[in-house]
Structure 1
């Protein structure tokens, strides 16, 4: 009985740490104020949007961009070799508004991630003093560009990205991504990314703003061309070269619908989830054990406590165990409510699906790790990559040369 009580106590402490780190994340997350810079002093900016097979979302994105209250900007939209009607939709908008430049993408060279290739090509058509990279599945508030640029200029940063408001529509999005996205806040609870002296560097790829000059000086997306998590890599390149980067709250600037169904969500996360945790088996073990102990175990503890009341109702540990489990649930509810700040479309009753969501997140992590560790291909929007533990994709040419060398060696023997 004492062992069980000690376990429940340790479990409660772990959940309190989870809650404490989450509170720290939201307390320390930098807010974006309304821009106070006069129109005449705002720079000309280029919004660069890559789009591949986004016929269901690109129209909404462009509509939101055209409705911006920013006085001086252009939109460079590149169709990244889409196989659906994305290109036709972009072209129709470009014909109606001359602020839109429609660019047809080219096939990615060997060793390039498709998105990096598209962005590296698209910036050749951009002429702004600042580049804004945003995804086709985003939808921006009318104040988005003005307040984002205002934040960057006021805080004198060279690159800044913004935490999005996540739109969750389908059942599996709500069940799985509620847990997955909530767990991400623990990756940098104290926002050390904003500390110039700290090594940690990353960016939220859905919405990145950077100065044109350092971006081009560092090689832009060509410098991260083979990196599967290119947004994190770009932030790291900036910071390692001494440029100032930052992350701020973007929930009042834009929202994003990353995936529409289970299949796209599974492919999207398995392609880079293991890379997001630095391709580390130790990190994987820590994340999965912590996730299941904090999200799944309290629901199991309810059954354990119920059995105690049946088998040991007179034991003095039983009421104390009950109070511990009640505290666990109270903290989980607060955690669920806090993390709701950056998601929409989720009914509070989805709290009850969290153990199943955690189980799915566990499978996502394990599957992503399996694909990397065993050299299996990941698939995303019709493209296939083999991701290394260095978080880069394997060159097909290098693989072919390895095969040719092996065949030559066999024939020589």
Structure 2
């Protein structure tokens, strides 16, 4: 039977079958997103039944930490303290933080000890903050975020409503150029395809987290060794969240577009370089899982549009498909599978629209960058980072 089928047909059939299988996996993974929780609202009213310690890790962040601290000093109780853990910045960051500390005594500047071997700088700063914290909850906030008024109360309300021990929040992106909006949404979609929708229940090995706004019970964190489990991880947020989920903690990932905004990278080049080093999540999963996810991204995100163009060219040109010996059912099957995959991809733009303050034409055309995003994911999976946010690492072996 196999001998009767041209090998080119067998290759196309295998591709079609692999795409159909990945599409089924993807639909199953995304289906819970239909009932996901709405964006978390801010809470402006104070509450005094719990306390929160915010930790902000800094290394030469003077050019962007100001809006973050402005947002934090507007937070009422349960915010107890803001611990800015600085790693000996040389751009005036400590001096700037001190000016905010004079305005709000809840802000404290801490200088961490020299980075130990085997630790990533940000994770070491978070660990330092944990040892100094007094709040019942730890809330990690990145220096490049802009907290809305009522963020702290809002995240506590969300954690209690969902009975979460650990919960992080997807931000709203702001200030992106048209070029960034053409590429960054395609990279973001690869994350959604690999983990599922924000606000939906996830299995421990598929949990997604965002270290830009990451809330965890301090007692639980201390019980399981603090941030040390993620000490060598460039995707420390996901590594820690999945570790705690595997230990039985209830972990959530919610839509925080109403409570926090972020302008993480100044240019498309910086975003491509810096985010591209960590968005593979290879530090947080097995290598097999990581490469299977790469294959899924290629098959149902990157390839459908080019294949539809190719198949359409054959059809409209009147050429045979692609030779007289190829079965027509295979042409039809490929058209159906790739059309469904492309329609699902385009629908993701509507689902993610609330995550962008400004969208414009390039956002809605970002599916044109799917192949580039898949290529960046592949390169990132194949390489071990040696630098991150101004630090260089001789060798960091991240635990899976």
Q: Write the mapping of 1:217-296 to structure 2, written as runs, cut at 5 A.
A: 217-272=223-278, 273=280, 275=282, 278=285, 280=287, 283-284=290-291, 286-288=293-295, 290-291=297-298, 293-296=300-303
CA contact (8 A) 2:349 2:364 kept: yes
Distance 1:181 1:385 in 2: 29
Distance 1:29 1:155 in 2: 12
Distance 1:289 1:163 in 2: 23
Q: CA deviation at 1:132?
A: 0.9
Count of aligned pairs: 386
| Residue matched to 1:333 | 346
Q: Write the mapping of 1:147-166 to structure 2, written as runs, cut at 5 A.
A: 147-166=154-173
Match for residue 175 of structure 1 among 179, 182, 188: 182
Q: CA deviation at 1:277?
A: 6.6
Matched, 1:386 2:398: no
Task: Report SS of the residue matched to 1:112.
Answer: coil
| Residue matched to 2:98 | 91
Q: CA deviation at 1:344?
A: 3.4
Instruction: Name the stretch that deviates more: 204-213 or 25-34.
Output: 25-34
Give me the TM-score of the superposition, normalised by structure 2.
Answer: 0.80
Distance 1:309 1:337, change over 3 A: same
Q: CA deviation at 1:311?
A: 2.2
Q: CA deviation at 1:69?
A: 4.4
Q: Write the deviation string for residues 3-31 of structure 1: whole angstroms up to 9, x where unpaired.
A: 69979976985796487457525324334
Distance 1:52 1:28, change over 3 A: farther
Distance 1:198 1:353 in 2: 30
Q: CA deviation at 1:53?
A: 2.2
Match for residue 365 of structure 2 among 352, 361, 368: 352
TM-align CA RMSD: 3.8
Matched, 1:368 2:380: yes
Task: Report SS of the residue matched to 1:386.
Answer: coil
Q: CA deviation at 1:381?
A: 1.7
Distance 1:74 1:260, change over 3 A: same
Q: Write the deviation string for residues 247-267 of structure 1: whole angstroms up to 9, x where unpaired.
A: 222122212222222343233
Q: Write the deviation string for residues 186-232 of structure 1: whole angstroms up to 9, x where unpaired.
A: 2232789856x856555321111122222223221234323332212
| Residue matched to 2:145 | 138
Distance 1:19 1:344 in 2: 27
Contiguous gaps of at least 5 residues in structure 2:
1-7
Give me the TM-score of the superposition, normalised by structure 1.
Answer: 0.78
Task: Report SS of the residue matched to 2:365.
Answer: helix
| Residue matched to 2:214 | 208
Distance 1:126 1:389, change over 3 A: closer
Distance 1:35 1:312, change over 3 A: closer
Matched, 1:62 2:69: yes
Distance 2:232 2:59 in 1: 18
| Residue matched to 2:4 | none
Q: CA deviation at 1:172?
A: 4.5
Distance 1:92 1:383, change over 3 A: farther
Q: CA deviation at 1:183?
A: 1.9
Contiguous gaps of at least 5 residues in structure 1:
392-413
Distance 1:150 1:75 in 2: 19
